[in-house]
Amino acid sequence: MQKKLIECIPNFSEGRDPKKIKKIQDAISHVKGIHILNCTSDTDHNRTVITFVGEPKDVYKAAYEAVKTAAKVINLNDHIGVHPRIGATDVLPFVPLQNTNVKECVELAKKLSAQIGKELKIPVYLYEKAATRPERENLSDIRNVGYEKLKEEISTNPERKPDYGPEKLTTAGAIAIGVREILIAYNVNLNTNDIFLARDIARTIRQSNGGLSYVKALGLELADRGIVQVSMNLTNYKETSVKTVYDLIKKEAKKDGVEILESEVIGLIPQKPLLECGKDYAKYLKLNNQFQESQILEVALKQAASKK
């Protein structure tokens, strides 16, 4: 019988200091039974996403050690980046992969949240399938307040009361812990510095504004590169494909005479949505040169299994 496998994809508010990122990676990889599948950093977002898998007890331990280490090395008061964030470990989702289910992952999320709140003194908000109230199912409804405003309101606004931990922020901020299905973090960079265009396109395509189902999107400015980005989370790629999203962005940008410069996958992506773009999917999607075959989920899992 195949053993249980859970995927964990914590997002850290640090994408510029390799030494800090390595300390967090080491905290994860030093846990026996854990396989890091991918680590992607972005300097403009000032953010790193690490994907790892293992059996539930090992994933639990690695997740705790990662949060503990990030709290030591990341100071949110010094953090500047274009991506919304509330914590050093900003978000930490669990995904059931093999011989596990949502219920088991929710139990894991709640147990971890209680330990983090009690021992690390970090406020925890449960989201999506682990949410304790409907208004916290959507991650963006928790995180859109931002670290600075949350610091002011956490002890005075009942809506900001955490599920676990103190009603006070330290330099580690807060953390959102959740359970979800496979999500694709996908960005499209436009060959323009027109931030209003990026925001207009994000507004057009995202579900909350009547756009594509299962698409969350923001228009962001990548000032160092002089371009803008449509940054997305695709929460159900089986219902709304990467191809559909890419094609619509291309169409909307073209209305203003703007071309897609490139697109990028953050973390891992299943093989199916890539092949829907054809065998030469990298060319079709203008995937940047940072994309590696090892970012395909099935490939990453196969590589991890071969290292046992």
Q: Which two tokens stand for residue 21?
A: 């990122």
Residue 83 a catalytic site member:
yes
Is the model's pLDDT at 28 over the cut of 80? Answer: yes
Residue 57 pLDDT class (50, 70, 90 cuts): very high
164-221 residue pLDDT tens: 999 999 999 999 999 999 999 999 999 999 999 999 999 999 999 999 999 999 999 9
- 3 state DSSP class of 307: coil
The single residue of 35, 45, 79, 83 carrying the catalytic annotation is 83
141-150 residue pLDDT tens: 999 899 999 9
* DSSP codes joined into one string, 112-126: HHHHIIIII---EEE
Report the alpha-carbon distance of residue 129 to residue 94 in Å, rounded: 10
59 contacts 4 by C-beta, under 8 angstroms: no
Report which DSSP code applies to 80: -
Entry pTM: 0.92
Report the alpha-carbon distance of residue 54 to residue 5 in Å, rounded: 5
Domains of the chain: 5-179 (3.30.990.10), 184-305 (3.30.70.670)
Q: What is the reported pLDDT for 1?
A: 58
Q: What are φ and ψ of residue 283, in 5° steps?
A: -70, -45
Q: Which two tokens stand for residue 292?
A: 């590696």
| Distant-in-sequence, close-in-space partners of 203: CB < 8 Å, separation ≥ 6 | 209, 211, 217, 219
**Bridge partners, 231 (sequence order):** 187, 218
